[in-house]
Structure 1
Amino acid sequence: MKKVWKGFAAAVSAAAIAATGFIGATSANAAEPASGHITLNNATSNDTFTGYAPFLINSMSSETTGEGASAQTTYTYDYVVNTAKGYTLDKVAAMLNTIPGVEAITTPTTQAAINTWLKNYVNGATDDSAKAQALAKAVYDYSSTSTNGITASFTDKKAAEVNSETYAAGYYVIGQTNNNPAAGDAQQVPTITRYISGNVEANHALTANLKNSTVSSEKKVKEDDGNLGNNADDTRLPGVAVGNNYNDGADYSIGEDVPFEFIGTLPDTYADFKTFFYQFVDTMNPQQLQLKKDSVQVYVGAGTNAGTNADAIAVEANAIDNTKFAVADTKASEAPDAAITGFTVTFDDLKTAVPTAKAGDKVIVRYKATLQPGAAIWTNGTPAGNINEMKLIFSNNPYDANSTDETPVDKVVVFTYQLDVNKVDGTNSNVKLQGAEFKLWKDENKSQAAKIENGKFVGWVTESAEGVTPVVTGSTLTTNAQGAIQIQGLDSGTYYLEETKAPAGYNKLEDLIKVTLTATMLPDKTQDWAGTVNADSNKIQIAQGDNAAQDGNSINVANNKGSNLPETGGMGTTVLYAAGAAIVLIAGIGLAVVLRRRQA
């Protein structure tokens, strides 16, 4: 690209000198320039290109030095404004005057004044590609503004189409556009190559080797099911260690803090950018999930662990000070009381905030969001999940700080479940029993009781010991006229029901009822979540006691009528033994008294 710029600079210098009368002898060797070609290499199938030619080559001359294999030919050009495409002297002057920090072209505008300006702009700075890009950007921005009346030499063409055409000799500026992949394609989005610019004519094709540099992003949620044990294998997530990794699906109880993760990459062309805007945009339903702002932490580095077992370096080693990035709510509208619809994590300039960041690094954002009472509940026959999505907005043009692109949306899902308990008669399950009372316990030791509000689980509490204030108790649930209670918002796992009061006329159950909810999700959690829940691939099963699990989330708890007979070895037999002993003792004393009276 520098050789192209050097050729253009030399040509402009020569043209400017010729225009101002310092040389004239070269005109005898001048020739009408022939049309040439443009060659764009390494373009992707999503790339399209638009080109503008503000200057045509009016004539060209050549000078050869050396002989044989060492002979070198230098071409110089004389340019004119390309009026056929809508350019005028005044328009070109206005266009060039938009370059920051340059001396303005003043009226009256002449071809000689423009050529002199170009000569001065590139003089002594032919290796400065930033100047070449600044000129190219000025040409492209001005030319592509519809109100300026410029016609493109070609518009939105694929590289193969551009390469197959022949173009009038002149100076061209070409801009690249990358169209995002269609939904379901890979999460990678290419960054835009710098503007392609230089001369086109028969002796000199404008050739550009595009850099296929991409940025990608993912969103993950952490499955942390304590019921499976520390780092146990979760059969729902093959090859994933619970407590160590992030996936596309997880399940939690209402009130729990759910860990999430964003993963972004930096392009191979990162060093070409002077500034780099980088922003994660998260969308979540505030009735289902709410961000804990103080939990947001960002990590940047080559060895940053992105939720896989392959990386050995812990993310904590690459933590970024939270003053280097901004966390802000997004709202449904500008109204002060508008609903919060998500949040952003923004680096206005990642290069300034994290000077050590480099091409190929990962940017990891980890945060927690609390599962809310308004979460979608997975019930028997109605699978539902709480879907959360993210996209990444990033700088995509190293010579245009305002140019950005974005990755496709990536989704994850959080599940929570409903437990249905049906109180029935022990001899006829069609008879539903009202008035039974239950408590739900976290474990068989009754260490913590469930707090339930409006049928929704909201957390665990440790009940107060007798006589201790303030009094803390778990919630008591009473079966309705249909003999039912419902508890919404539970994680998968094992729980224990205690019947604290039996229905009128029935015996109360003395033992805890063990209930196990087991969830089966999609088998491959490395894929993007589709946004729907498939009942055939995702299901909830329930087991009562040590019985085999059954599909659904409902159990029957039976009660019997009549008196309870004392159990062998229980408190009832102890009472009987004591009563029998007392009777025997009394009878013995009575017998002794009778015998003594007879002897008397």
Structure 2
Amino acid sequence: MNKNIARLAVTAGLTAALSFGGVMAPVTMAFAEGTPVATEKGDVTIREDTYTDTTFKGIQIFKATVTQDNKDNAWNGPKTLSDITWASSDAERAVKGVFADAIDKPVDTATAQDWADYITKKAGDNVGEGVKVDAGSTLDKIAKALEEVATTNESTGWKTSTDGKFNNLPAGYWLFVTAQVGSTKDANKTNGNEDAFTSPIFTIVGGANVNAEPKKDVPNVTKAIKDDKDDKWVTDDNKTVFQAANKAADSAAGQLVEYQLAGTVASNINTYNKYFYAFTDELPLTMVPELGNDNKPVVEVKIGESIVSPDSYTVSYNTDDGKNTLSVSFDNLKEAKDSSNNAITVNGDSKVYVNYKAKLDPTKISAGMLGKAQENKVKLTYSNNPHSEGTEGTGTTVEHPAYDYTYGIDVTKVGSDDDTKGLKDVQFTLQEKDSDKFIKADGTTTTDKDAAILTTNNEGKINVVGLDEGTYILKEVTPAPGYNNSASNGVTFTIARGTLKQDGSEVKPDKGSANVTAADGVIKADSAAVSTGKLSFTIVDQKGTGLPLTGLNGVTFTWIAGGAVLCIGVAHLIRSRKQAEESEQE
């Protein structure tokens, strides 16, 4: 009997306990000095560092007297169990039910000690401190069966920390699992992560208090935007996208911008038989993703360096209910295959990436959004309960944003005779420097110059939206009547953003870098100004002048006098003919 007790203590008890709770110092076969003390009660603390509302529950499998050496009121060495019995008929029925079809199960008259030995043998070598229970393993099946058994909840009146505490529990062999998960969401339930269930924690209660840590991780998600200024996903080359994701970039209307969604998985993913995993990306209404021939977003999905076969996930795009949502979901991430249809190994260290492109919709860009962050945010939905499948046992992460910006110009055309009054119907063209394309008022481009004419309104203004950072040339094509074309050789200016902040702050172009230049007198002095997302300046056209004339009065008199002589001559001729006709009649 004593030999059986020792065997159970070292194998079934300590090995399984240390597998999932990290509850004691490393096991040693040598017993520490001290007096063996038998205990019938014990305390358990499950340390939870983050989630105040997460709670745990305990299920006793075996009752036992737990003995451990004690010296100077300090517990030392391993624990031994004696007088092992089933904790309850429900626990006995649940455990035996797991092995109902097993050929090698203990006989009907087997004792609780016999079953403890059998469980130890069936658990195999996949135990030890830090190891998580594998889905479908012996211990996983036992834990799942026992969740239907009556449980012991955390002690009341202690909740001054996030830890789960159990006081004065009967000594024996116990299973601890998550009762309910909490979250870090705010009072409005709009932001935060939801916790995940722990892998089963098997441990011995009695002797030294048990201090265990949940065996789980909450997946994390982040979002990055690739800035075409430096073509990087990160703000620090020495860090990963999870540590220093670049959150801000700028673009022109219709310009495709690259986005990356990146997520981790639970460290105990091996405990899950099926692992649901879904990115939900909400774009602003001003944006649209790149769509393929099937009208679905064009995405590249990777797990680590492996490109995932599209057959392994589902892509959708939804514009209903005033939302603009792109989703990529795995019904079971653990069954993902690569582009060659080979299985991809997914473990607790795996990283999942979704790359796609999106652009600002030129039809939805307005002057009011210039320099203001167009927020694009992602959240991750993930399985968080190893013993629930589908979307029932899931949690969600906090939303992570990225921001895109665009800019514009506000140019006023005046005459040199009155620089407070705008000139209407003056025509311009706008091009980015060294480009053969012309920019329309909505920021889109064309090679057709006539299709991109910009005409001043009644106030003498042209407004162009949807511009990216860069250097541009504005040329006057047709001046106002009576004015010279002063800007025919172009006005060169630069939209420079400086440094984009990572928090979605509004952006003003850098006035010091604007460099609005043209021929002398073309730009009104001190007219260059910046406001949120906009650069403004005034172009001056010179009033037309007349050339000096001489002899105008003399010439005019000659014409008048000549005309009078001609009239007199014609009248005299008519009179002479009339008199001749009258003489002939007589």
TM-score (norm 2): 0.65
* Distance in 2 (alpha carbons) for counterparts of 1:504 and 1:123: 99
Aligned mate of 1:512, from 487, 490, 496: 490
**SS of equivalent residue, structure 1 residue 247:** coil
> Which residue identity is paired with 2:536?
S
Aligned mate of 2:299, from 287, 296, 320: 296
How many aligned positions are there?
Answer: 462
Matches within 5 A, 1:273-288: 273-288=272-287
Matches within 5 A, 1:514-553: 514-523=492-501, 525=502, 529=503, 533-534=505-506, 538-539=508-509, 541=511, 542-545=514-517, 550-552=529-531, 553=535
**SS of equivalent residue, structure 1 residue 431:** strand
* Distance in 2 (alpha carbons) for counterparts of 1:71 and 1:480: 88
Match of 1:125 in 2: 122
The yes-or-no answer on 1:221 pairing with 2:225 is yes
CA gap of 1:432–1:300, structure 2 versus 1, over 3 A, is: same
The yes-or-no answer on 1:152 pairing with 2:153 is yes
Match of 1:346 in 2: 329
* Distance in 2 (alpha carbons) for counterparts of 1:423 and 1:193: 69
**SS of equivalent residue, structure 1 residue 351:** helix
Match of 2:200 in 1: 195
The yes-or-no answer on 1:557 pairing with 2:562 is no
Match of 1:265 in 2: 264
Matches within 5 A, 1:459-538: 459-463=444-448, 473-509=450-486, 510-523=488-501, 525=502, 529=503, 533-534=505-506, 538=508
> Which residue identity is paired with 1:517?
I
Match of 1:46 in 2: 51
* Distance in 2 (alpha carbons) for counterparts of 1:345 and 1:474: 39
> Which residue identity is paired with 1:551?
V
Deviating above 6 A after TM superposition, structure 1's stretches of 4 or more consecutive aligned residues are 2-5, 69-72, 97-101, 112-121, 186-190, 236-240, 546-549
* Distance in 2 (alpha carbons) for counterparts of 1:560 and 1:152: 87
Aligned-pair CA distance for 1:54: 6.2
- 8 Å Cα contact 2:222-2:400 kept in structure 1: yes
* Distance in 2 (alpha carbons) for counterparts of 1:192 and 1:420: 56
* Distance in 2 (alpha carbons) for counterparts of 1:415 and 1:211: 42
Aligned-pair CA distance for 1:394: 2.3
**SS of equivalent residue, structure 1 residue 220:** strand
> Which residue identity is paired with 2:42?
G
Q: For the aligned residues, what is the CA RMSD?
A: 4.8
Aligned-pair CA distance for 1:211: 3.9
- 8 Å Cα contact 1:375-1:386 kept in structure 2: no
Unaligned runs of 5+ in 2: 1-7, 17-37, 68-75, 102-108, 127-132, 239-243, 338-343, 548-586
Aligned-pair CA distance for 1:121: 9.1
- 8 Å Cα contact 1:173-1:195 kept in structure 2: yes
Aligned-pair CA distance for 1:174: 2.5
**SS of equivalent residue, structure 2 residue 298:** strand
- 8 Å Cα contact 2:485-2:541 kept in structure 1: yes
**SS of equivalent residue, structure 1 residue 544:** coil
* Distance in 1 (alpha carbons) for counterparts of 2:141 and 2:434: 72
> Which residue identity is paired with 1:49?
T
* Distance in 2 (alpha carbons) for counterparts of 1:364 and 1:116: 49
* Distance in 2 (alpha carbons) for counterparts of 1:71 and 1:232: 57
The yes-or-no answer on 1:362 pairing with 2:334 is no
Aligned mate of 1:419, from 409, 414, 417: 409
Aligned-pair CA distance for 1:434: 1.1
CA gap of 1:378–1:431, structure 2 versus 1, over 3 A, is: closer
- 8 Å Cα contact 1:389-1:410 kept in structure 2: yes
> Which residue identity is paired with 1:290?
P
- 8 Å Cα contact 2:491-2:516 kept in structure 1: yes
Match of 2:22 in 1: none
> Which residue identity is paired with 2:537?
I
Aligned-pair CA distance for 1:6: 2.3
Larger Rg computed on CA atoms: 2
CA gap of 1:238–1:512, structure 2 versus 1, over 3 A, is: farther
Q: After superposition, what is the alpha-carbon deviation per residue over 1:142-178, rounded to whole angstroms, capped at 9, x for unaligned?
A: 65xxxxxx77354795888645732234664422356
**SS of equivalent residue, structure 1 residue 77:** strand
**SS of equivalent residue, structure 1 residue 329:** strand
CA gap of 1:5–1:488, structure 2 versus 1, over 3 A, is: farther
Match of 1:166 in 2: 168
- 8 Å Cα contact 1:432-1:483 kept in structure 2: yes
Aligned mate of 1:37, from 29, 37, 43: 43
**SS of equivalent residue, structure 2 residue 138:** helix
* Distance in 2 (alpha carbons) for counterparts of 1:540 and 1:71: 69
- 8 Å Cα contact 2:423-2:458 kept in structure 1: yes
Match of 1:407 in 2: 397
The yes-or-no answer on 1:437 pairing with 2:443 is no
Match of 1:140 in 2: 147
Aligned-pair CA distance for 1:266: 3.6
Match of 2:82 in 1: 75
* Distance in 1 (alpha carbons) for counterparts of 2:95 and 2:41: 29
- 8 Å Cα contact 2:40-2:65 kept in structure 1: no
> Which residue identity is paired with 2:516?
Q
* Distance in 2 (alpha carbons) for counterparts of 1:374 and 1:486: 15
* Distance in 2 (alpha carbons) for counterparts of 1:449 and 1:352: 50
* Distance in 1 (alpha carbons) for counterparts of 2:111 and 2:316: 48
**SS of equivalent residue, structure 2 residue 421:** coil
Aligned-pair CA distance for 1:9: 13
Identical counterparts, % of pairs: 22
Aligned-pair CA distance for 1:396: 3.5
- 8 Å Cα contact 2:65-2:172 kept in structure 1: no
* Distance in 2 (alpha carbons) for counterparts of 1:421 and 1:71: 82
- 8 Å Cα contact 1:435-1:504 kept in structure 2: no
Matches within 5 A, 1:55-70: 57=63
The yes-or-no answer on 1:428 pairing with 2:418 is yes
Aligned-pair CA distance for 1:408: 1.5
* Distance in 2 (alpha carbons) for counterparts of 1:558 and 1:543: 17
CA gap of 1:378–1:436, structure 2 versus 1, over 3 A, is: closer
